[in-house]
Amino acid sequence: QDGQQGHLLPPPPPPSAWLPLLLTFLALAPAAAKPNAGLRTWSRFRKLPYPGDQAFLHKTFPGDFIWAVGTAAYQVEGAFEKDGKGLSIWDTFTRGGNRMATGDVGSDSYHNIRADVRAIRQLEVSHYRFSLSWSRIFPNGTRGSYNEIGTNYYRTLIRKLKENRVQPVVTLYHWDLPDHLQQTLGGWSNPDLVEIFRDYADFCFQTFGEDVKYWITIDNPFVVARHGYGTGVVAPGIKNDPDLPFRVGHNLLKAHAAAWHLYDRHYRPLQQGKVSMALSSHWIKPSRTSLESLRECQCSLDHVLGWFARPLFTDGDYPPCMKARLGSRLPTFTQEEREQVRGTADFFALSHGATLSFQLINDSLKFGQQEDLDLRMLLYWVNAEYDKPPIFVVQSGWYVLGNTKTEDPKHMYYLKRFIAETLKSIVIDGVNVIGYTAWSLIDGFEWHREYGIRRGLYYVDFNTPDVKREPKTSATFYRQIRNGFPELPENRPAQGVFPCDFAWGVSANSIQVDTMPSQFADLSVYLWNISNNGALTKLEGLSAPPLRRTTHCADYASIRQQVDDIRLIGVNHFHFSLNWSALVPTGDVAHPNTTLLGYYRCFTRQLLKANITPVVTLWHHTRQRSSLPAPLDNANKWETPEAFADYARLCYRELGAHVKMWITLNEPNDEMVSYQEGHQMLRAHALAWHAYHREFRQTQGGQVSLALHMDWVEPAFSFSREDVEPAKRVLDFRIGWFAEPIFGSGDYPLGMRSWLRQLNSLDLPVFNEEDRQLVKGTYDFFAISHFSTKLVTHAKEDSYTYTAMLEVQHMIDTTWIMSPRPVVPWGLRKALNWVKEHYSHVPVYVMANGVQEDPARFKDSLRVYYLYNYINEALKAYTLDGVNLKGYFAYALSDQRDPGFGLYGQVHEEVIIKVSLSNYRNIIQHNGFPIQGAAPQQCPSLPQPCLGCHVLEKRPVVGFLTLVGSGVLITLGLIIYYTAKRHKE
């Protein structure tokens, strides 16, 4: 069977055809990875289903998966001259040039083995990766300078780890070459270091090998060679020979191979360990969708990761792209050396994250492409390029600024992202990832960044005598992961249906208004050339007699088209906003725009005829424009709430026969609105509600409320009470600000008042008793607009949006789908539950819910995903949580009125029906997500729309008289009157 396509091979042929069959089989059979096999990575990921493939994967890792944490000796050990340790190149490097700090003390792990092991035990990891300080064991780099005390430090560390059932992963060389070897031999530029390193490795294998099953010979040779001996950014800081990095890399590879063969021949039979070289890489994406861009991406990876990975895992030689571009600058392997290097890795040790190789210092190795942060694609590329090796992620993580203490949300969410990508790599992509190492255990000296950033799961207070360690929130998160992200009941899609009277709707900020009747407006006479091209030719000087008839609602083609578009969706409600400033341009309701008012009247009437309930907003808040009538649009907006109440009365009176659901104010709770303005808005809403309640409710029987913008706010650290309070505070200020006076106490939230009191702020107005009674209870339902979710934390990081007044930082989870706001379906369920918890059994409508997507993407996959999952979360709120949810409105009708959000798109003048429209209609037709096999829901049938029923009554009708002559039709419009009874046929 063809593993790629799933096609069955043909049946066995006669013996005479065996040879062709054999050749066919060899072509189909799996083979060793071909050169540049990783090139298919980019196209493969472009073809994965969007956005489903980007959704969070709730699965677990294999039972034998390795969970580890790591450090490097120079970063954390300190004690740089204690107990006979010799100087390393980093001890010397940090004392030269403009460098301000050293690793002389670092995290002082040399004196804090117990504290480090305690931290490792608290994380509940199975492995700890650390490096040996070469100059602590051999102070001058060779066996003759052996230091017993330094060796005993590592014996003790390994023993303590084993006592706590933690397996050591030991790195022989993590950038800290004994300085004596650099000063006397030129360091890694000298081929003599190959045998010197082999002898050092021999000692380590012999001394520690009985307890060590995973060895890393050299960490990140790319950084050692390119930045140690090329750019000079790291020790030893050499930068005067552009070809030196390639000679250094050559020696590093041969040194690793020598150590691997030594272990393979002399130690593996007894110790049964594995040896590799830790290779680090960036990820890169093409700047253009062309094969040339893909080849440049491949070449970029070859110059960083392939430089060392191809010799080890493929053919013992450098990537062809490197050889072609560098020519004689790149050393050559002899055939014997190629055989010596090839295959000298028992697993692929991969580093990824905020390393020097991710930040390439300059753009020279990007080859015009774009650097990206995608561990999953990198894992897939390694898997394809190097013939499916077992991959151990031996370093992964992010960093925070040096002034961050124990709350590190950025680090935590990047950690979550990388682990989630690793899980997808295993479960979805079939990559053999055997372990993951969070970097690092504790804060330390961060190489060329010194102490300017922190990467530890544990915060280290470098100013305390005992260099105190405290767990960060990232440590708590890493410990809680256990073995991945198991699916919980709340993660699973719900099955069930909404009640029969559920309001399914679609919302639009506004509707198309064309107040000129599109029928009977043209009185011209035309020639219709039917026998040739079918063209109409206007006859100049001829016209039909003027019509003596009143305008009818059916005359507006724009209304018919919009109603037809809405009907096609299958909804039973449509929500749109009136234009106050256009309806009452002078601000005086005694002089309304009667033409526009008539248009709105016709629109709502035609909706009702189509069995669609109009839901009408009197005033829709927009940041771009006030939409208040010009005479009322002054510095003190809303200073006369009575004007809004008068406008509401006008609308109730003129449209109330057709409108039974009113929204007074749509999304007034915008953060750009001042507290004083909001106070007057509340009074305006209350006056409008009372006007309807006293003067119109009895005759019209409708309902009135307001709609609040209610994106959800989640604590960044859900396991921390310190972040629960900021989340509640933001909800008080964003939602409770308008909700509590109306649906609750008649006053602003207590938390809101007390917080402002702490800030000595007098901005929040005070309700007098009259206003309290005016505002309280002015609702018939609770309507929300919900689009997305944000995280908030009290921890402050410069890279995120910080709101000083509320003392909260807004951020996102990097695993969320973005477009451009986060797509977080469960946020809707939490928002609905918040309403229930605060205001009991109040009827709730989701009045607008939608996602912005590039209008050019008419496959519309993100909107399909969004609507399905958000509606499913609404169903959970209704069926599982008992929320009194009465309706759901998708936002929006069309891109023409609400760009990027529409169920209808538009290209030039052509209207496009998006896939999401039919998907939404399907959900509506099933009234949710019925349980498979269950009896269908029995709901009373609704009367079918009869748009033509009112035509057969006494009114003018147009007839057509056609005169035929010489192949030309002359068609005249005539006015005919007749009377007929209405009937059901």
Q: Give the integer Cα–Cα distance in Å for 938 and 647.
A: 42
pLDDT value of position 761: 87
Instruction: Give the whole-angstrom CA distance, residue 816 versus residue 789.
Output: 10
3-state secondary structure of 356: coil
Q: What is the pLDDT of residues 470-523, one digit of tens each?
A: 999 999 999 999 799 999 889 999 999 999 999 999 999 999 998 876 655 566
Neighbours of 72 (CB within 10 A): 25
Residues in the chain: 985
Sheet with 955-965, strands from edge to edge, namely 536-543, 524-528, 968-978, 955-965
Residue 958, φ and ψ in degrees, nearest 5: -90, 130
* Predicted pLDDT at 499: 97
Question: 3-class DSSP state for residue 523?
Answer: coil
Task: Provide the token pair at 384.
Answer: 């394809």
The answer to whether the CB of 153 falls within 8 A of the CB of 112 is no
- Helix (H/G/I), strand (E/B), else coil: 181: helix
Q: Which amino acid is at 417?
A: R
Whole-Å CA distances, 224 to 173, 232, 248, 610: 10, 10, 8, 73
The pLDDT value recorded for residue 96 is: 87
- CB-count exposure of residue 652 (10 Å: 0-12, 13-18, 19+): buried
Q: How many CA atoms lie within 13 A of 770 on its CB side?
A: 1
Q: Which residues pair with 823 in a beta bridge?
A: 817
Question: Is 351 in a helix, a strand, or coil?
Answer: strand
Helix 557-569 vs helix 594-609: angle between axes, to the nearest 10 degrees?
40
Measured distance CA(352)–CA(358) in Å, rounded: 7
Q: How far apart are CA 561 and CA 735, in angstroms?
A: 37
Rounded to 5 degrees, what angle do the CA atoms 7, 12, 13 make?
120
Ranges of residues in the chain with a pLDDT under 70 are 1-34, 355-361, 517-523, 531-534, 546-550, 623-626, 635-636, 719, 798-800, 855-858, 942-985
Q: For the chain, where do the domains classified as CATH 3.20.20.80 start and end?
A: 42-481, 502-516+549-707, 781-788+823-927
Angle 307-347-219 from CA coordinates, rounded to 5°: 55
What digits encode the pLDDT tens for the residues 806-819? Answer: 999 899 999 999 98
Cα 72 from Cα 950, distance rounded (Å):
84
With contact defined as beta carbons under 8 Å apart, do 433 and 383 qualify? Answer: no
CB 136 within 8 A of CB 153: yes
User: CA–CA separation, 456 vs 470, rounded Å?
Assistant: 10
If we measure between CA atoms, which residue out of 508, 545, 510, 505 comes closest to residue 525? 545
Q: CATH number of 42-481: 3.30.365.10, 3.20.20.80, 3.40.190.10, 3.40.50.2300? A: 3.20.20.80
Say which amino acid occupies 892.
A
Q: pTM to 2 decimals?
A: 0.89
Contact between 515 and 555 under an 8 Å Cβ cutoff? The reply is: no
> Can you say how many angstroms the Cα of residue 259 is from the centroid of all Cα atoms in its chain?
44
pLDDT tens digits for range 227-254 = 999 999 999 999 999 999 999 999 999 9
What element of type H or E holds 775? helix 769-775
Q: Is residue 57 within 8 Å of 420, Cβ to Cβ? A: yes
Could you tell me how far CA 437 lies from the centroid of its own chain?
24
| Cα 741 from chain centre | 35
Q: Give the domain 502-516+549-707 fold.
A: TIM Barrel (3.20.20)
pLDDT of residue 624: 62
- Alpha helix ranges (H) inside 38-83: 40-46, 73-76
Tokens of 375: 């561990």
List, in order, residues 6 or more apart from 71 with CB less than 8 Å away: 109, 116, 129, 130, 131, 440, 441, 442, 444
User: E strands, 553-660, where?
Assistant: 573-577, 613-620
pLDDT at 305: 96
Region of residue 897 (left: phi > 0; alpha: psi -120 to 50; beta: else):
alpha
**Is residue 541 packed enough to be buried (19+ CB in 10 Å), middle (13-18) or exposed (0-12)?**
exposed
- Long-range (24+ apart) CB contacts under 8 A made by 764-772 are 764/675, 765/675, 765/676, 765/679, 767/741, 771/683, 772/741, 772/746, 772/747
Percent residues over pLDDT 90 in the chain? 76
- Domain 781-788+823-927: CATH superfamily is Glycosidases (3.20.20.80)
Number of Cα atoms under 13 Å in the Cβ half of residue 958: 15
* β-strand pairing of 348-353 with 391-397: parallel
Model pLDDT, residue 794: 86
Nearest C-alpha neighbor of 605 from the set 647, 574, 568: 574
Asked whether the beta carbons of 416 and 812 are under 8 A apart, the reply is: no
